[in-house]
């Protein structure tokens, strides 16, 4: 049953129009969905490429040379990259399919409109004739009624005056005859209109409408065929079981199956095979006891009244450790054998041990045997020490222990006679050698046990000192941070002065929280810094303790400072109290101050920098020419706006953190950073020529080819150094290079740099210099040093075009499209052909085909040498 016979009714026609509208909406829905799938496939391709590139970071690892599993992994990652390319290709094909759907939708709309117009046309003719028949019938009825009335009148006149004539009778007869004629004409028109309507209706019903519907059915079905083919094509480009994906998976399976554990370490073993390990000789250094008379003997335990208690305690500890080793061995053996006895001390597996799903039973047994052997070794080692201590104690006996202090008895007696408890007398007696030693012992230890065998304690009556080894060590470390103090007394004195907080070595100014966290690595590490909250300055104590904790210093009503404990008149005294008392900063945090972290050597004082004049503007703030007070050296200073959030300040300081470790004549030198107060500043060497881009434009007529090539060589030298340090610049351009004396070029502006062999952008591609950036970085967000090589090619073009804008007249998107299709900028005027060929190599679409900076430097250097020799 087709359209021609089944859809002739008005309701069917309207339903067909509604169906066509629904199909058009379905097409639009499909198009949007396929567009979304194409977008998702592209994003997945980008992610898959990032995964593959991350996995291929081992490519330079010579340590894995000859490894089958490393080789298989590289192949695995290469195949993932192929998958990414296939997904990207499929996504592009889906976009083509979306275009086909758009065209199909447009054609379908046109066909629907043509059908409606044709249907309306043939229906209008039938409707017109139907109306005409009705009209003719109405006229017929009208003329019939007139005819009947005139006929009646005429008959009346003839009956009343038969055989007579006259004007009135003639008038009646004429009207009657006219009515007869009109009636007959109307009758004929009515008959003809009915006949025509019958034929038109018959043709409409049997020829025109069926033909239109049959044609429409054909059109509809042809659209469905095209539609189906489009969907089949879309399905094919989303089919993960397609042959191409199967081949990739098959290759992955093949390379993984090629891993043979018995062959994995063959080449490694052959390459690194060595002679058996030479035994290490541990011998007592007898020079240590050369100046000690008689009491101590090399490699022999000394048992006397000073050591016997310690030896006995140590013996108990070691015997406990031996027992623990034995118990652990027994538990391990019972676990393996289900409680069955063990023959000859070896593990006998009864097959009851379950596999963990990764290792075989054999691997599990080997591991347990290894652990058991380790425990036996520990037991033997500690038993050796037990036997040694027992032997020493048995030789001496317990009734009369030799004295370990006889040689120092006179010193002790001298100390007692000089009045240990007299503070003034002790102060005046420091010139005495014996008392000098005792005072030093008192200063370091606080409590001394001096009288042999009696346990009598003598304590200082001065300011309490740290009494534990940990506390003494902590005080020593903290004292080193105070250049003005050499002892606890002088340290306390320095804290009572009016020295400002920013002079303390452990105060780091307005260093951002992210930078602070980088400095605090071990539990107990701490520093003090300043932060701005709600436009108000606050002092913060930052501590590493089960993570990183930050405590705001509270201010009391009388101007003192505190945390949860007592208040102090200065922040320095508050920090010293927390440090020496070893009390938690807050009970909830439990954080204890153990080691103050000093400012790094490249952290300068803000007051040491005098800003002279503004010479530029950067992304984070203004750039100034400045002078260092200490050295009178002219410097360049980048400032960071105070209103920027900490995240932006961290990015600002990143350039300084990268530059601080570099030293190369073609890399701008860092002098230091200033974070003691706002604004944060990066201090660098002042390069007098300014921006390379401005220099090229200002001196375009004066530059020679030799000078331009020299600039290229300088830039290559700097980038070669960065490449050797695994630093990716990411923003190499003439605007970010500086010119020193004699046209020397220095690489600058490391705000976007990353210290990695490969960097994947994870926070979007905003503020990316499109015309300087390599295609793989734009398309996939993947940066390597070879991306800098592409940018270097653009830099060369800028140098030889004397400061022209790359891809002049093109928008970023247009330039990107042209580059992807293979377009490369033409050579600037008067550029040596060899230099332009080098530019083209830098712009190779295949990343691995680009030269590294070492090769670039050698090529440019050789060309300069050849140019100089020719002249």
CB 720 within 8 A of CB 626: no
Contact residues for 466 (Cβ-Cβ < 8 A; gap 6+):
446, 472, 474, 475, 580
Within 13 Å of residue 401, how many CA atoms lie on the same side as its CB?
A: 17
CB 173 within 8 A of CB 86: no
Rounded-to-integer distance, Cα 150 and Cα 173, Å: 9
Q: Which of 81, 731, 749, 788 is catalytic?
A: 731
Rounded-to-integer distance, Cα 367 and Cα 803, Å: 68
Answer yes or no: is 489 a known binding residue.
Answer: no
Q: Coil, helix or strand for 449?
A: strand
Answer yes or no: is 617 a known binding residue.
Answer: yes
Answer yes or no: is 622 a known binding residue.
Answer: yes
Rounded-to-integer distance, Cα 762 and Cα 366, Å: 44
Answer yes or no: is 620 a known binding residue.
Answer: yes
Contact residues for 237 (Cβ-Cβ < 8 A; gap 6+):
90, 93, 94, 97
CA pseudo-torsion sign 211, 216, 217, 219 = positive
Running DSSP on this structure, what letter comes out for residue 243?
H
Number of other CB atoms surrounding residue 208 within 10 Å? 19
Answer yes or no: is 726 a known binding residue.
Answer: no
Answer yes or no: is 619 a known binding residue.
Answer: yes
Rounded-to-integer distance, Cα 559 and Cα 538, Å: 14
Rounded-to-integer distance, Cα 778 and Cα 679, Å: 34
Rounded-to-integer distance, Cα 196 and Cα 193, Å: 5
Q: Report the alpha-carbon angle 503-650-763, nearest 5.
A: 175
Rounded-to-integer distance, Cα 31 and Cα 40, Å: 14
Rounded-to-integer distance, Cα 281 and Cα 79, Å: 52
Answer yes or no: is 175 a known binding residue.
Answer: no
Single out the residue of 28, 35, 74, 235 nearest to residue 43, CA to CA.
35
Give catalytic status of residue 174 as yes or no: no
How far, in Å, are 279, 347, 423 from residue 380 at the CA level? 18, 19, 53
Instruction: Say how many residues make up the chain.
Output: 871
**What are phi and psi for residue 241, nearest 5 degrees?**
-95, 10
Rounded-to-integer distance, Cα 246 and Cα 142, Å: 86
What residue numbers does the annotated binding site cover? 615-623, 638
What residue numbers does the annotated binding site for ATP cover? 615-623, 638
Question: Which residue numbers are catalytic?
Answer: 731
């Amino acid at each position: 049953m087709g359209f021609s016979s089944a859809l002739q009714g008005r309701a069917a026609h309207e339903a067909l129009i509604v169906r066509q509208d629904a199909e058009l909406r379905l097409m639009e829905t499909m198009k949007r969905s396929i567009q979304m799938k194409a977008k998702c496939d592209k994003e997945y391709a980008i992610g898959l490429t990032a995964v593959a590139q991350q996995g291929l970071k081992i490519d330079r690892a010579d340590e894995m040379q000859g490894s089958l599993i490393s080789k298989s992994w590289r192949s695995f990652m290469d195949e993932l990259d192929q998958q990414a390319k296939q997904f990207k290709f499929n996504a592009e094909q889906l976009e083509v399919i979306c275009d086909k759907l758009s065209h199909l939708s447009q054609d379908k709309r046109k066909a629907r409109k043509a059908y409606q117009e044709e249907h309306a046309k043939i229906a209008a003719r039938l409707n017109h004739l139907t109306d005409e028949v009705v009209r003719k019938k109405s006229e017929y009825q009208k003329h019939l009624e007139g005819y009947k009335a005139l006929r009646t009148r005429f008959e009346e006149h003839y009956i009343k005056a038969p055989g007579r004539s006259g004007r009135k009778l003639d008038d009646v007869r004429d009207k009657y005859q006219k009515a007869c004629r009109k009636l007959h004409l109307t009758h004929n028109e009515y008959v003809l209109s009915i006949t025509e309507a019958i034929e038109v209706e018959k043709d409409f019903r049997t020829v025109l409408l069926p033909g239109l519907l049959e044609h429409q059915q054909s059109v509809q079905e042809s659209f469905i065929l095209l539609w189906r083919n489009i969907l089949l094509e879309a399905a094919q480009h989303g089919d993960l079981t397609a042959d191409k994906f199967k081949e990739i998976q098959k290759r992955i399976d093949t390379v993984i199956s090629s891993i043979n554990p018995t062959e994995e370490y063959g080449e490694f073993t052959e390459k690194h095979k060595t002679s058996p390990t030479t035994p290490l000789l541990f011998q007592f250094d007898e020079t240590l006891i050369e100046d000690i008379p008689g009491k101590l003997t090399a490699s022999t335990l000394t048992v006397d009244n000073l050591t016997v208690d310690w030896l006995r305690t140590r013996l108990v500890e070691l015997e406990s450790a031996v027992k623990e080793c034995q118990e652990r061995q027994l538990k391990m053996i019972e676990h393996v054998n289900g409680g069955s006895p063990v023959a000859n001390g070896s593990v006998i597996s009864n097959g009851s041990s379950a596999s963990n799903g990764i290792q075989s039973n054999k691997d599990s047994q080997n591991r347990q045997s290894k652990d058991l052997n380790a425990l036996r070794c520990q037991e033997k080692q500690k038993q050796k020490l037990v036997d040694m201590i027992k032997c020493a104690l048995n030789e001496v006996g317990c009734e009369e222990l030799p004295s370990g202090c006889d040689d120092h008895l006179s010193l002790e007696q001298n100390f007692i006679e000089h009045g240990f408890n007299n503070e003034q007398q002790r102060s005046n007696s420091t010139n005495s050698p014996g008392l000098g030693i005792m005072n030093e012992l008192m200063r370091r230890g606080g409590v001394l046990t001096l009288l042999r065998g009696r346990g009598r304690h003598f304590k200082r009556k001065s300011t309490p000192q740290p009494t534990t080894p940990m506390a003494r060590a902590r005080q020593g470390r903290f004292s080193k941070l105070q250049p003005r103090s050499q002892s606890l007394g002088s340290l306390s004195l320095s804290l009572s002065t009016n020295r400002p907080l920013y002079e303390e070595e452990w105060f780091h100014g307005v260093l951002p929280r992210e930078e602070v966290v980088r400095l605090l690595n071990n539990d107990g590490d701490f520093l003090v810094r300043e932060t701005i909250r709600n436009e108000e300055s606050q002092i913060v104590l930052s501590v590493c303790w089960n993570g990183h904790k930050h405590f705001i210093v509270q201010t009391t009503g009388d101007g003192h400072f505190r945390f949860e404990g007592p208040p102090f008149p200065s922040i320095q005294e508050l920090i010293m109290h927390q440090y020496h008392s070893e009390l938690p900063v807050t009970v909830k945090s439990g954080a204890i101050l153990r080691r103050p972290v000093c400012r790094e050597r490249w952290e300068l004082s803000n007051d040491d920098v005098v800003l002279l004049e503004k010479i530029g503007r950067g992304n984070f703030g203004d750039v100034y020419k400045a002078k260092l007070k200490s050295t009178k050296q002219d410097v360049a200073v980048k400032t960071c706006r105070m209103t920027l959030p900490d995240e932006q300040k961290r990015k600002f300081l990143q350039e300084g953190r990268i530059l601080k470790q570099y030293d190369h004549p073609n890399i701008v030198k860092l002098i230091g950073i200033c974070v003691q107060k706002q604004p944060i500043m990066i201090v660098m060497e002042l390069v007098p020529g300014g921006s390379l881009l401005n220099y090229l434009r200002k001196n375009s007529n004066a530059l020679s080819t030799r000078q331009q090539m020299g600039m290229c060589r300088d830039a290559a030298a700097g980038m070669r150094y960065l490449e050797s340090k695994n630093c990716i610049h990411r923003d190499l351009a003439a605007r970010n290079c500086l010119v020193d004396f004699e046209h020397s070029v220095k690489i600058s502006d490391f705000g976007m740099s990353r210290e990695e062999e490969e960097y994947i952008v994870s926070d979007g591609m905003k503020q990316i210099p499109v015309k300087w950036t390599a295609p793989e970085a734009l398309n996939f967000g993947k940066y390597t040093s070879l991306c800098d090589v592409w940018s270097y090619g653009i830099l060369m073009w800028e140098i030889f075009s004397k400061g022209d804008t790359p891809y002049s007249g093109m928008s970023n998107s247009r330039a990107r499209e042209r580059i992807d299709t293979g377009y490369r900028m033409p050579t600037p005027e008067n550029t040596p052909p060899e230099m332009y060929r080098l530019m083209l190599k830098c712009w190779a679409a295949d990343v691995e085909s680009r030269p590294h900076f070492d090769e670039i430097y050698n090529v440019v250097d050789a060309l300069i040498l050849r140019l100089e020799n020719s002249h």
